[in-house]
């Protein structure tokens, strides 16, 4: 047996000789090792990797297939796109992380790879920001095309419950709709968005609603300019699907929570409307519950609620909206979270 430090258990994780040999063989090529190091920075698509590494799609796909078969990578298809990440589980997951983390990050080749990764992600962010800037004035109308906003807002209020809020944080606040909805119940409220155009509209909304205690900040959801351990409720409303690394966004949101605080995520359930990638800057075509549960687990959150809000009719732009509510597990309480046992996930469907 070969032993690896495990992040999932208190003791070492062992890997059988055949699995170890298969994993090492799969990683023992320059491009494959570079891919492992890149994926240590977060999930990437095949297109992202071809752009970063400057190699053909068939060549990159072959490398990815070999490492996936060896258990080093997890593969997820989403419409016509395929995303890869370092394996979260399985016997070879610790090996993948050990290999990616054991390489000298100061190597010139890896330094260049990180620079190209940053450039690719910056291009994605510019495309999304340009879309938001073009459509900031009618963003609420655009969102209403995808799901009945009144039903979503009612479900958000029900999930949050009637209790007052000490400190509220809305990450990716956009035009400030969630701040207008929940801000009156908060002693302190902060909204963060990367788009100045969106923030300008949000500020106007706050003035109209006489919410002078709401503070709006320009910043990235992946590095939010907020205090750690400071908020009892954090919202991420219809943001994750435009991000390259939604798992990191959930982790950053969780870091802002006070012990025992709650994270509410609202986003789309899986769908197949490929046109939204171009027309609305969507990077992800929704999220299955299993993926979101994994994001919450990695962020140290207990999943308390999963609810699906289906559109009243079928149509090209009629999407199901999902709501997930989790609690920071640093504090356990006997108080109910809207009647939900935090140790049991409740799946609901609302027509």
User: Has residue 17 got a pLDDT over 90?
Assistant: no
Mean pLDDT of 159-185: 93
Q: Is residue 117 included in any domain, yes or no? A: no
Indicate whether 15 and 72 sit together in one domain: yes
Q: Is residue 124 included in any domain, yes or no? A: no
Assign residue 197 the CATH number of its domain. Answer: 3.40.50.150
What is the span of the domain harbouring residue 47? 2-103
Which sign does the torsion angle of CA 29, 7, 78, 134 carry?
negative
The answer to whether the beta carbons of residues 269 and 260 sit under 8 Å apart is no
Give tens-digit pLDDT for 269-299.
998 888 777 777 788 889 999 999 999 999 9
3-state secondary structure of 272: coil
3-state secondary structure of 227: coil
Mean pLDDT of 171-190: 93
Q: Is residue 266 included in any domain, yes or no? A: yes
**HSE value, Cβ hemisphere, 13 Å, CA-based, for 282:** 23
Indicate whether 39 and 153 sit together in one domain: no
Q: What percent of the chain has pLDDT above 90? A: 46
User: Has residue 235 got a pLDDT over 50?
Assistant: yes
What's the rounded Cα separation, in Å, for the pair 108 and 110? 6
Indicate whether 214 and 296 sit together in one domain: yes
Indicate whether 282 and 189 sit together in one domain: yes
Q: What is the pLDDT of residue 87?
A: 87
Report the predicted TM-score, pTM, of the whole model to 2 decimal places. Answer: 0.62
User: Has residue 36 got a pLDDT over 60?
Assistant: yes
Q: Is residue 111 included in any domain, yes or no? A: no
User: Has residue 139 got a pLDDT over 60?
Assistant: no
Q: What is the pLDDT of residue 29?
A: 93
Q: Is residue 115 included in any domain, yes or no? A: no
Q: Is residue 251 included in any domain, yes or no? A: yes
Cα-only R_g, the chain: 21
First-residue to last-residue Cα distance in the chain: 53
Q: What is the pLDDT of residue 23?
A: 85
| Number of domains observed in the structure of the chain | 2
Give tens-digit pLDDT for 95-131.
888 888 888 888 999 999 999 998 988 887 676 667 6
Indicate whether 237 and 324 sit together in one domain: yes
Question: Given its phi and psi angles, is residue 94 left (phi above 0), alpha (psi -120 to 50 degrees) or beta?
Answer: alpha
3-state secondary structure of 14: strand
- CB atoms under 10 Å from CB of 91, counted, come to 17
Q: What is the pLDDT of residue 348?
A: 47
CA 56 vs CA 26, 49, 62, 69, 202: distances in Å: 19, 10, 10, 20, 44
Assign residue 9 the CATH number of its domain. Answer: 1.10.10.10
The answer to whether the beta carbons of residues 85 and 71 sit under 8 Å apart is no
Q: What percent of the chain has pLDDT above 70? A: 81
Indicate whether 233 and 312 sit together in one domain: yes
Q: Is residue 84 included in any domain, yes or no? A: yes
Q: Is residue 294 included in any domain, yes or no? A: yes
Mean pLDDT of 73-91: 78
Q: What is the pLDDT of residue 144?
A: 54
Q: Between 80 and 227, name the one with better pLDDT.
A: 227
Q: What is the pLDDT of residue 313?
A: 67
In sequence order, what are the beta bridge partners of 309? 321, 350
């Amino acid at each position: 047996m070969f032993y690896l430090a495990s992040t999932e258990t208190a003791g070492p994780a062992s890997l059988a000789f055949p699995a170890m040999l298969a994993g090492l063989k799969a990683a023992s090529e320059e491009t494959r090792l570079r891919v492992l190091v890149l994926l240590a920075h977060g999930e990437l698509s095949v297109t992202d990797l071809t752009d970063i590494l400057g190699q053909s799609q068939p060549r990159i796909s072959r490398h990815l297939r070999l490492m996936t078969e060896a258990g080093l990578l997890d593969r997820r298809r989403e419409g016509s796109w395929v995303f890869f990440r370092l394996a979260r589980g399985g016997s070879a997951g610790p090996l993948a992380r050990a290999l990616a983390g054991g390489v000298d990050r100061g190597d010139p080749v890896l330094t260049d790879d990180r620079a190209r990764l940053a450039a690719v992600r910056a291009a994605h962010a510019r495309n999304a920001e340009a879309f938001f800037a073009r459509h900031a004035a009618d963003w609420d109308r655009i969102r209403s095309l995808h799901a009945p906003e009144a039903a979503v807002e009612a479900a958000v209020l029900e999930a949050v419950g009637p209790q007052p809020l000490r400190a509220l944080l809305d990450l990716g606040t956009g035009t400030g709709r969630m701040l207008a909805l929940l801000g009156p119940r908060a002693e302190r409220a902060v909204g963060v968005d990367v788009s100045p155009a969106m923030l300008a509209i949000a500020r106007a909304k706050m003035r109209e609603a006489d919410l002078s205690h709401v503070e709006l900040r320009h910043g990235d959801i992946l590095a939010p300019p907020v205090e750690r351990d400071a908020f009892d409720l954090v919202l991420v409303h219809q943001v994750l699907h435009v991000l390259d690394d939604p798992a990191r966004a959930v982790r950053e949101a969780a870091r802002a929570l006070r012990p025992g605080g709650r994270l509410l995520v609202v986003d789309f359930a899986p769908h197949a409307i490929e046109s939204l990638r171009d027309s609305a800057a969507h990077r992800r075509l929704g999220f299955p519950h299993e993926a979101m549960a994994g994001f919450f687990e990695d962020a140290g959150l207990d999943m308390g609620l999963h609810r699906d809000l289906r559109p009243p009719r079928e149509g090209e732009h009629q999407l199901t909206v999902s709501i997930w509510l989790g609690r920071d597990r640093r504090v356990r309480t006997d108080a109910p979270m809207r009647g939900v046992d935090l140790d049991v996930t409740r799946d609901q469907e609302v027509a």
